[in-house]
Amino acid sequence: MKRGVLYCTIFVFISMLLIPFVSAARDIEPVVSTDWLAKNMNNPKLVIVDIRKVEDYKTGHIPGAVNVFFNTWAVMKTGLRNEIPPLDDLADIIGSAGISPDSLVVVVGDADLPPNRSGITRVAWTLRYAGIENVAVLDGGYDKWKSDKKPLSTDAVKPKQTKYQVKVNEAIFAKKGHVIGAIGKAVIVDARGADFYEGKQKLDFVAKAGRIKSAVNLPAMAAYNKDGTFKNRKELSDLAAKAVGTDTSKEIIVYCDTGRLCSVWVFIMSDVLGYKNVKSYDGSSEEWMKDPNAPTEP
């Protein structure tokens, strides 16, 4: 290889590593910075969705952000927590937020605690399920926006409502029967902490401790820095590759306890790292452990 070509190849490779988050065939990167959002707030296609509680939203929010609380997007259904709302309701939620198919949507929430961090990615993944392609999350959430001393507002935003038609992407969510059939074929990822994965702990509403048979462990919170921002692309890529390998075409199914926490790695692997067949098992351990015939370990 000639020296000039070699240098060019090395430069391109290094440049790719330095780009924090790259997304193909989209009009917005999947993870945006506070600086990016501040510079693009006047874009008429931009919709900022603040998923915090209404009382927190009223005390201060990003100017122009519409408030749609997390529990609107993830509901109790058939005895399971954090399920996708019925499609008619989901269409109304999206339309009432002023979101159209060509919108650039940025989801914002608190990034202090694991449930809040994963709530952001769960809403983003729900929007992707509903057919919105250009969905991003704000890196570091509202906490980073505030600590960066970006502008704040207390004015409630009433968006111009749209009539949204849900175009369901069934391929990004897996049902229990599909997961059972995928054991030994797909890579099944448990996004809970190590103690839950190893069966040493469980939540009260989960029937028994343990994990889905053959599952590997990739804790969701390993994706974050201490301040709630995501680790850089290379660090995320290394973590994912260690757990699931580098074959981006292989089927990957990620679960947790209720389908909320697992959305972190589902979103990162699919929209940031380019894995092409990533699914969220929405019923997760809450559903799986109720079934005495569902294969578990240890």
Active-site amino acid positions: 256
CA 228 – CA 221 distance, rounded (Å): 9
Which letter does DSSP use for residue 153 in this model? B
Nearest CA-CA partner of 198 in 190, 207, 187: 190
61 CB-contact burial (10 Å; exposed 0-12 / middle 13-18 / buried 19+): buried
**Could you please report the per-residue DSSP string of 227-279?**
TSPBPPHHHHHHHHHHHH-S-TTS-EEEE-SSSSTTHHHHHIIIIIS--SSEE
Identify the residue whose tokens are 């994965």.
197
Nearest CA-CA partner of 160 in 99, 241, 225: 99
HSE, CB side, 13 Å, CA atoms: give it for residue 113. Answer: 4
